[in-house]
């Protein structure tokens, strides 16, 4: 099922992240940080999102330094039993996994959820991850993307290594996957073909390598863009790459991150924003942000300018290169002080942060959607669960009133609900 261009509607994913996407959400008096280990907390968030008819929920993952962080695929497997329609997207990194392992996990999630699985493809972002896997350092950026491309191709071959409805288990079968430069996997996968063929493939890198990989392989791109102009330029760039891979514009959905604080009045929304900003632990925030500079920002006056001349170049960064570029451009354009930089990063982590009423936010979303900046949004409430509840109760009805968002779930799978075509049948017989 692929939607006609005239019937396009906004696609909405909710990014579930701890107690919220604001850096200080966990310090808010209404929060109980240990609830992020409680399945009932996640069940509530998933059910609120499903009540709002959102397309999917997304759980990121990392393999170092996270406190109270549950493994994404296991968590979504549990949530599949608590929901009926909403898509379930998990981050699994390619650098420290094996294709067979990922292919089996994704197949299991797709089967038990009835065709609602998605895979967010990342390459990893830190040496700390490498240390947890017995490696001396995180692989270089270009190498990681070459590995990731081969990894995805092998995973697809594994999902194709079956006939409809049954797994191939004949030891003499010719359904083996074969090899690439870095992987050799005999196969086949020990599961029937997935309800969706492949899980929905999501990609979140916005570097040159990330954009190229997304244009070639992804169904959805999650991206961080701070302004409408930057989002539209990114959208035009990536969509313009699709014909080189024999793809049409509607075969890839681009969904920028959106970090909303929504209330009945602008004053109430700003009050909550200020409350959260006041809870930021300045020393910790400066320590984290200083990693992007060749100096400790805490030695500079908070209300003085950000020392841009000390920012690390992209060549000195081996991860999140596009985020570094985005932040430096924003600091220069707005002539930020260090305090403003800390607060801006705290309430969006490089994504577009919005504070206002439901009508104001719907206006902004409609502008991005109709003006070639977004096919939908990766909604990142700054505080959970209240921020998600406010979005579902206030913003979604406004979008529905404008004919921009569904009023009932359609289709049986996540692919169908996103208007994405099923992959061609390549099962070997």
* Known binding positions: 61, 91, 141, 145, 206-207
Phi-psi domain of 178 (left: phi exceeds 0; alpha: psi -120 through 50; beta: other)? left
Residue 63: which of 55, 72, 74, 54 has the closest Cα?
72
What is the Cα–Cα distance from 201 to 152, expressed in whole angstroms?
Answer: 9
- Among 294, 304, 298, 297, smallest CA distance to 336 is for 304
Q: Which residues contact 320 (CB under 8 A, 6 or more apart)?
A: 125
Which residue is associated with the tokens 């090899």? 179
* Surface-to-core class of residue 366, CB atoms within 10 Å of its CB (0-12 exposed, 13-18 middle, 19+ buried): middle
Q: Residue 80 pairs with which residues in a beta bridge?
A: none
Nearest-10 Cα torsion for 331, 336, 339, 343: -60
The DSSP H or E segment spanning 42 is helix 39-51
Q: How far apart are CA 419 and CA 376, in angstroms?
A: 12
Report the Cα 348 to chain-centroid distance in Å.
14
Q: What is the CA radius of gyration of the chain?
A: 21
CA distance 80 to 207: 33
DSSP type of residue 81: T
Annotated binding site for FMN: 61, 91, 141, 145, 206-207
- The enclosing H or E element of 377 equals strand 376-379
């Amino acid at each position: 099922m692929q939607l006609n261009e005239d019937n396009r509607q906004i696609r909405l994913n909710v990014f579930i992240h701890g107690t919220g996407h604001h850096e200080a959400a966990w310090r808010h008096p209404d929060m109980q940080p240990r609830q992020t280990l409680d399945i009932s907390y996640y069940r509530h968030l998933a059910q609120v999102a499903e009540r709002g008819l959102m397309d999917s929920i997304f759980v990121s993952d990392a393999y170092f330094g996270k406190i109270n962080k549950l493994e994404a695929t296991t968590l979504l497997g549990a949530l599949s039993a608590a929901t009926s329609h909403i898509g379930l997207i998990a981050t699994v990194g390619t650098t420290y996994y094996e294709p067979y392992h990922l292919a089996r996990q994704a197949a299991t999630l797709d089967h038990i959820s009835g065709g609602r699985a998605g895979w967010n493809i990342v390459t990893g972002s830190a040496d700390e991850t490498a240390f947890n896997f017995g490696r001396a350092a995180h692989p270089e950026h270009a190498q990681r993307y070459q590995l990731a491309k081969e990894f995805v191709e092998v995973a697809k071959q594994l999902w194709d290594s079956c006939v409809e409805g049954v797994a191939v288990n004949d030891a003499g079968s010719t359904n083996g996957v074969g090899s690439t430069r870095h992987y050799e996997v005999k196969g086949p996968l020990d599961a029937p073909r997935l309800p969706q063929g492949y899980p929905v493939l999501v990609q979140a890198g916005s570097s040159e390598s990330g954009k190229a990989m997304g244009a070639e392989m992804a169904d959805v791109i999650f991206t961080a863009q701070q302004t409408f102009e930057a989002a539209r330029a990114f959208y035009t760039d990536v969509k313009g790459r699709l014909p080189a891979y024999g793809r049409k514009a509607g075969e890839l959905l681009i969904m920028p991150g959106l970090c909303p604080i929504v209330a009945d009045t602008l004053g109430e929304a700003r009050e909550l924003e200020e409350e959260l900003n006041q809870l930021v632990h300045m020393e910790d925030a400066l320590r984290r942000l200083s990693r992007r500079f060749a100096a400790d920002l805490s030695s500079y006056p908070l209300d003085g300018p950000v020392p841009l001349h000390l920012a690390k170049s992209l060549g000195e960064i081996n991860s999140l290169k596009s985020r570094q570029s985005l932040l430096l451009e924003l600091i220069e354009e707005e002539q930020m002080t260090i305090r403003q930089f800390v607060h801006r990063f705290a309430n969006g982590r490089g994504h577009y942060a919005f504070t206002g009423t439901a009508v104001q936010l719907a206006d902004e979303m409609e502008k991005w959607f109709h003006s070639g900046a977004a096919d939908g949004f990766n909604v990142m409430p700054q505080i959970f669960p209240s921020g998600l509840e406010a979005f579902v109760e206030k913003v979604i009805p406004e979008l529905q009133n404008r004919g921009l968002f569904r009023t009932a779930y359609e289709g049986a799978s996540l692919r169908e609900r996103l208007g994405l075509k099923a992959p061609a049948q390549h099962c070997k017989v």
